[in-house]
Amino acid sequence: MSTIRIPPVLRENTGGSRTVGVVGTTVAEALDDLFAKHPALRDRVTEEGELSRFINVYVNDRDVRYRDGLETAIGADDTIILLPAMAGGFR
């Protein structure tokens, strides 16, 4: 089972969980399993079936944009990191 790390802004959709265990051999399959477990995440992570432009996806420390995108292969020990930009600073 692979692990998906849920960024803080999306944790309201996972009941507060910071990580979710998923099955799948590609990032797409892993995300499908994530959305099956937490349906509300689908609309926040994808736009019309594509990965949202606002969220970077990493397998371990590698951005899937520079690998095979959603078809990037994953193994059981891999961690998928979802990373939207954070703006917070000084106010």
Partner 1 sequence: MTNDQNRPFREVTAAEAVALARDGYRVIDVREQSEWDSGHVAGATLLPLGEVSQRVAEVAPDRDTPLLLHCAVGGRSGRAAGWLAELGYTNVTSMKAPIGHWKEQGGEWEEPRQLLTPAQQRRYARQTLIPEIGQEGQRKLLDARVLLIGAGALGSPSALYLSASGVGTIGLVDDDVVEESNLQRQVLHGVDRLGMRKVDSGELTIRGLNPETIVVKHAERLNADNVERLISDYDVIVDGTDNFDTRYILNDAAVKLHKPVVHGSIYRWDGQITTFVPFDGPCYRCMYPTQPPDELAPACSVAGVLGVLPGVIGMLQSNEVLKLILGAGETLAGRLLMFDAMGTSFDEVRIWRDPACPACGEGVEEGVASGAPVAAGA
Mark residues 32-61: x for contact with partner 1 by CB under 8 A, - for none: ------------x--------xxxx-x--x
Phi, psi torsion values for 74, nearest 5 degrees: -130, 155
- Structure-block tokens of residue 89: 């600073």
- Binding residues for partner 1, total number by CB under 8 A: 25
63 sits in which H/E element: strand 62-63
Judged by beta carbon, residue 28 or residue 45, the one nearer partner 1 is 45
Cα(9)–Cα(62) distance, integer angstroms:
21
CA distance 68 to 25: 13
Of the pair 75, 87, the CB lying nearest partner 1 is at 87
The answer to whether residue 7 forms part of the interface with partner 1 (CB under 8 A) is yes
Torsion sign across C-alpha atoms 30, 36, 21, 60: positive
In this complex, which beta carbon is closest to partner 1, that of residue 49 or of residue 61?
Answer: 61
Q: Which residues bind partner 1 (CB under 8 A)?
A: 5, 7-9, 18, 44, 53-56, 58, 61-63, 66, 81, 83-91
